Amino acid sequence: MNTGAQNRAGAAIGFVLFGVLCISLNDMLIKQLSSGYPLHQIVFFRSAIALVITLVFLQFEGGFIALRTDAVGLHVMRGLLVVIANMSYFAALAVLPLADATALFFVAPLFITLLSIPILGERVGPLRIGAVLVGFIGVVIMQRPWESSLEVSRIVLLLPVLAALTYALNQLMTRRLGVKAPASVLAIYIQGTFTLVSVGFFIVAGDGKFAEGVENASMVFLLRAWVWPPAQDLWVLIGMGVNGALIGYALSQAYRIADAATVAPFEYVGLPLAVIWGFAIFGDLPSWEVWVGIALIVASGLFVFFRERMKAQRVTPRPVARRH
């Protein structure tokens, strides 16, 4: 494990735990709204409000001059990866139970651990790689390849996995960009990309013409027409914007200041939160396949984390005893 200002593991873990809590709230609210609004409208409200709030955060981290960068291409690519991750995940969320979609998405920390080797040059030993493979077995079990027919399309089941892959790539790019850019700048580029893409969706498909005759619930969620929300939903959308700003800042900060392989396992906290929200709000409980998958993924994540801690203790010099 690296040391120094860019690897403050304790603070990074706190940021990622807070970010995951906010994400679980965000997912629950989007699933609630998915039957009445198009995804790009929800994303527009959330991102535009989050962008304004994050601009306020920016004033405490260098001001507008901090937005100047010589890595515009990387910021744009990172933003597009997050858009793909969100669109594919939420399209699945409109159809799948909350716990199922979240559990499938949690292949992301496994992708992060593996991809941190070629992309960031981080060292991941054979035991941690073995633990990651155990987690992938959990994902395969949740895909239920032995069943010839499922209630949902296998393409829908793969959408959270696609979201996980693009999310993992985004977070690894966050680590690379975070050497020079503060968390607020990283979040602003993300929220700005979301806002522009959702406006583009509105221009092309905001009247709902592409949703006519479509029966697939995920596609309808992507393509239905914009509608002006009533007061109670408008407040929910505003709250999601505030929540989105907190998510963007917290996760950007977490992956900016610590090794990806150290931070990623703590995102597993989202799994029990998804089960709780799914049961409390929607009355859903995971199937046995999902329970087994969750157990394998959590076990592999905890192993990766404790293995990382053991390595850090071995390379950290023993403190010299002092009199007090």
Instruction: Give pLDDT tens digits along the chain (324 positions).
Output: 444 544 578 888 899 999 999 999 999 999 999 988 999 999 999 999 999 999 998 988 888 887 887 777 777 888 889 889 988 999 999 888 898 898 888 888 778 888 888 887 877 788 888 888 998 898 888 877 777 666 777 788 889 999 999 988 887 876 666 556 777 887 888 889 999 999 999 999 999 999 888 888 888 998 899 999 999 999 999 999 999 888 878 887 887 788 766 777 787 788 889 999 999 988 888 888 889 988 888 888 778 767 766 665 555 443 333 334
Which tokens belong to 220?
Answer: 């309808």
Structural domain range at position 242: 8-314
Say what the pLDDT of residue 88 is: 93
pTM, two decimal places: 0.79
> Is 120 inside a domain boundary?
yes
Note whether 88 and 221 are within 8 A (CB).
no
pLDDT at 180: 65
Residue 195 pLDDT: 92
Task: Give the pLDDT score at 202.
Answer: 93
- What does the pLDDT read at residue 323? 38
Query: Coil, strand or helix: which one is 74?
Result: helix
DSSP 230: P
Helix/strand/coil for 246: helix
319 domain-assigned: no
How many independent structural domains does the chain possess? 1
Dist CA 69 CA 192 (whole Å): 15
In a domain, 321, yes or no: no
SS3 278: helix
DSSP per-residue letters across 302-324: HHHHHHHHHHHHHHSPPPPP---
- pLDDT at site 262: 74
Mention every residue, 6+ apart, whose C-beta is less than 8 A from residue 304: 113, 128, 131, 132, 261, 264, 265
Say what the pLDDT of residue 113 is. Answer: 80
CB 250 within 8 A of CB 22: yes
Confidence (pLDDT) at 149:
64
Please indicate, yes or no, if residue 1 is contained in any of the structural domains: no
d(CA 103, CA 157): 11
Report if residue 74 sits inside a domain. Answer: yes
Domain membership of residue 3 (yes or no) is no
Is the separation of the CB atoms in 224 and 30 below 8 Å?
no
Instruction: Read off the amino acid at residue 77.
Output: M
Q: What is the pLDDT of residue 321?
A: 36
Tokens describing residue 40: 């790009």
Cα separation, 240 vs 237, whole angstroms: 5
Structural domain includes residue 286 = yes
